[in-house]
A and B are shown apart, each in its own frame.
Chain A
Amino acid sequence: MDTPSRSEHTPSPPDLVTPPGLTSPQTGLAAASAASGRARLGDRLFAGASKGSGILLLVIMAAIAVFLAVRATVAISANEGNFLTTFEWNANANPPVFGIAVLAYGTVVSSIIAMVIAVPVAVGIALFVSHYAPRRLAQPIAFVIDLLAAVPSIIYGLWGALFLVPHLTGLNLWLDEYLGWTVIFDKTNPAATPRSLFTVGILLAIMILPIITNVTREVFLQVPRAHEEAALALGATRWEVIRMSVLPFGRSGIISASMLGLGRALGETMAVATVLSASPVLTAHLLDAGGGTFAQNIASAFKEANDMGRDALIASGLVLFVITLLVNGAARLIIARHKEYSGANA
């Protein structure tokens, strides 16, 4: 989310910057012009330094990108499988055989599940905190949500593996029994522990909830008072106020927030590696154990990887990077289309 632009902050005239002690009445004019020269020099130095560090950062990033692309190319050209369609990941074998099909599927599917669960809940919480809850209640709630965001992901992973997974067995059986006909909720081995993409999706939803909630709450709080009061004056109920003024105003803010959450879900590593029963299986049955994600695979395979294995992991990381870029680009497009009436880019 962009901060409001500071166009009204024009630079102060240089003579105002000069410390008052330096200007004696006799040499006032000369001192002022000298000071203005110094200030210009300072301006230039600062501009140069900030521009320089910006460029340096870009150069470093470009160097990293080139390095990664080269390493990825090495791996992909040595690959005996099809990088896009092969299921297995045997990058350390000789010859290496690996593909990203399972990883890409698992990453996208688990993130979609997380978004489907997290976005409505997060928007609900944000609305409650910003428009329904009394101030005394709103602040503790906001505080607790901030706290959730500070929990390290390995803690979520341990909690997921030791608590969430065993307690999801009942929900899994219920879904299998009543919604099994939808295929995606059909569990082929009902006895297996639910260490599946579905469980990972639920865990990811909890993990991305705080960031989405916080950002959307901030946007909802920025809704111009006049909009809401105008709606109230027209006789709108509180829900109608939210529907007519708050949600349209916050739409691109919600999208930005969701994208931030999605970014975290796509790249989440340790929590997924701890909870998911990883295997090179691509299945539409979301409740079946198996599958994998890019980041989880990197975490699992990195430890014992040889040179080729590492290059292959870098290649998979680049794909994740491209997916993230595409998603962010799409989000920016959507936001740009609603620019004229939005809280995010106000």
Chain B
Amino acid sequence: MKLQHKSGLRTLAVSAIALTSAFALTACGSDNNTPGGGGETTQAGAGDIKCDGKGQLLAAGSTAQKNAMDLWVQNYSQACKDVQINYQGTGSGAGIEQFMQGKIGFAGSDSALKPEEVEASKKVCKGGQAIDLPMVGGPIAIGYNLPGVENLVLDAETIAKIFDSKITKWNDAAIKKLNPDAKLPGTAIQAFHRSDESGTTDNFTKYLKGAAPDAWKYEPAKAWEAKGGQSADGSSGVASQVKQVEGAIGYFELSYADANQIPTVDLDNGSGKPVEATTANASAAIGEAEVVGTGKSLALKLAYDTKAEGAYPISLVTYEIVCDKGNNAETLGAVKSFLAYTASEAGQKAVTDKGYAPLPEEIAVKVRETVDSLS
């Protein structure tokens, strides 16, 4: 009897362990959303940083700006020894969530706050509300793998049709028309998208919807909606597939294309001259954006259908989210001095090497003014 009792306990223990490991699975995951391809850090560009505040400043959010943040934090903490800044790339959603709970000084996000989020922020921002401060942009490159074809030119409609499996061969008439001189093979197009939910997908589909509404019927979202094509996990996953598979095309941050030496599509934005995916061209497109934020918020509406020469509108803008009034008094000084640096000329210039597009001067000026007025 005694023995049975014991072995019963043992069975329970074993099944308990099995149970724990089953649940532990839910906690697994990895995050490869960072746009930077690595490389050495830039020491230059610290500029004149005005230190303020003391102690630890916590921040979290978008992984797309993590590499820029790391560089900024490094430069800033060299100048200001009293402040330790800790930015965690948890993803935009988790960052905003933590901000709403008052756990962090500011949040990084790939998209502006939704009206209901602004409303909810009034709880944590005493006497004020959360605002969006655009801080840095980044071009989303469209990489392809087509040996023998250089400087492939596509326009918004063709890109939309390719990613929606409407155009399935590289020698399709629509592609031929845009590339009269290229020797296009008859291989099948293999379009790669992200299998995980991502701000990159969100911004890419926003562009498709904004620039080619007739060809792209899906609502922009973090999850890929279109049918067909193949998927891969993370920007690094998409980039490695494009690098590996002949006839492939995929979208990812520009730094991944640079790191993997993947040729990128030049965009025919209607100006008559194809635009290369570069940080400078992305900045030019962000310059065409319109400020749609209310109050002190500087949320931008990108002009996806811009026809301006040299403007590459397949870009994302990442924001810092802070309270306009009622920030935590303990960290306010550090937040203001840090964001003043990141929006400064030196701060913006420092991150261009990492594949980020600096803010156009007129928007940067507004951001600086707003940062100065935070309370």
A binding-site residues for B, Cβ under 8 Å? 2, 5, 7, 51, 54, 57-58, 61, 64-65, 68, 89-90, 92-93, 154, 161-162, 166, 189, 191-193, 195, 263, 267, 269-270, 273-274, 276-279, 289-290, 295, 298-307, 313-314, 317, 320-321, 324, 328
Instruction: Rank and list the top 9 A-B pairs by shortest CB-CB distance, nearest first.
Output: A277-B230, A191-B188, A304-B197, A278-B195, A300-B196, A302-B29, A317-B26, A277-B231, A321-B22
- Give Cα A299–Cα B19 distance, bound, in whole angstroms: 19
> Judging by beta carbons under 8 Å apart, are B241 and A193 in contact?
yes
Q: How far is the CA of A199 from the CA of B12 in the complex (A)?
A: 36
Task: Tell yes or no: B198 within 8 A of A by CB.
Answer: yes
Judged by a CB distance under 8 angstroms, whether B93 is at the interface is yes
Q: A193-B241, A278-B195 are in contact. Are A68 and B233 (CB under 8 A)?
A: no
Q: Please give, as numbers and ranges, the residues of chain A lying within 8 Å of B26 by CB-CB distance.
A: 298, 302, 313-314, 317
A269 and B28: CB pair below 8 A? yes
Q: Which of A51, A54, A300, A314 contacts B195 (CB 8 A)?
A: A300
> In the bound complex, do residue A269 and residue B230 qualify as a contact, i.e. CB atoms below 8 Å apart?
no
Would A324 and B30 be within 8 Å (CB), given that A166-B244, A189-B188, A191-B190 are in contact?
A: no
B222 / chain A contacts, CB cutoff of 8 Å: 92, 304
Please provide the chain B residues from 233 to 265 with a CB less than 8 Å away from any CB of chain A in the complex: 233, 237, 240-241, 244-245, 247
Q: Which residues of B contact A65 (CB under 8 A)?
A: 19
Q: Within 8 Å of chain A (Cβ to Cβ): is B232?
A: yes
B18 CB, min distance to chain A CBs, angstroms: 8
Q: Which of B16, B92, B195, B198 has the most chain A CB atoms closer than 10 A to its own CB?
A: B195
The answer to whether A303 and B23 touch (CB under 8 A), given A58-B16, A92-B222, A298-B28, is no
Taking a contact as CB atoms closer than 8 A, the residue among A276, A304, A306, A320 that contacts B198 in the complex is A304
On chain A, the residues within 8 Å of B224 by CB distance are: 279
- Chain B positions within 8 Å of A191 at CB level: 187-188, 190, 247
- In the complex, whether B31 has a CB less than 8 A from a CB of chain A is yes
In angstroms, Cα B18 to Cα A5, docked, is 21
Sampled A-B contacts (25; CB under 8 Å): A5-B7, A51-B9, A57-B16, A68-B23, A93-B221, A93-B223, A161-B237, A191-B247, A193-B245, A273-B195, A277-B195, A277-B230, A278-B233, A279-B195, A298-B28, A300-B197, A300-B233, A301-B197, A303-B29, A303-B91, A303-B198, A304-B199, A305-B93, A306-B97, A314-B26
The size of the chain B interface, using a CB distance under 8 A, is 46
Residue ID in chain B nearest A266 by CB atoms: B22
Query: Is residue B3 contacting chain A, with contact meaning CB distance below 8 A?
Result: yes
Residues of B within 8 A of A290 (CB): 230
Contact of A295 among B3, B25, B223, B237 (CB under 8 A): B25
Query: In the complex, A274→B195 CA distance in Å?
Result: 10
Contacts of A314 in B (CB 8 A): 26
Known contacts A92-B93, A92-B197, A328-B18; 18 additional CB pairs below 8 A are: A58-B16, A61-B16, A61-B19, A61-B20, A92-B222, A191-B188, A193-B230, A193-B244, A195-B230, A274-B237, A279-B224, A295-B28, A299-B30, A300-B197, A303-B31, A303-B196, A304-B199, A317-B26
Given A7-B3, A304-B91, also A278-B231 (CB < 8 A)? yes
Pairwise interchain contact A270-B93, C-beta atoms closer than 8 A: no
Determine the residue in chain A with the shortest Cβ distance to B248. Answer: A193
Complex Cα–Cα for A68 and B29 (A):
18
When the two chains form their complex, are residues B92 and A304 in contact, meaning their CB atoms are under 8 A apart?
yes
Q: Does B13 contact A (CB under 8 A)?
A: yes
Q: Which residues of A contact B229 (CB under 8 A)?
A: 279
B22 interface neighbour in A57, A161, A267, Cβ under 8 Å: A267
Q: Give the residues from 98 to 123 in chain B that come closer than 8 angstroms, CB to CB, to chain A.
A: none
Give min CB distance, A6 to chain B, whole Å: 9
Within 8 A of A (CB), among B300-344: none
CB <8 Å contact, A192 and B190: yes
- Neighbour of B197 across the interface among A58, A305, A324, CB < 8 A: A305
In the bound complex, CA of A304 to CA of B223 (Å): 10
A residues within 8 A CB of B158? none
Contacts of B7 in A (CB 8 A): 2, 5
Note all chain B residues with C-beta closer than 8 A to A303.
29-31, 33, 91, 196-198
Question: Are A58 and B12 in touch, CB under 8 angstroms?
Answer: yes
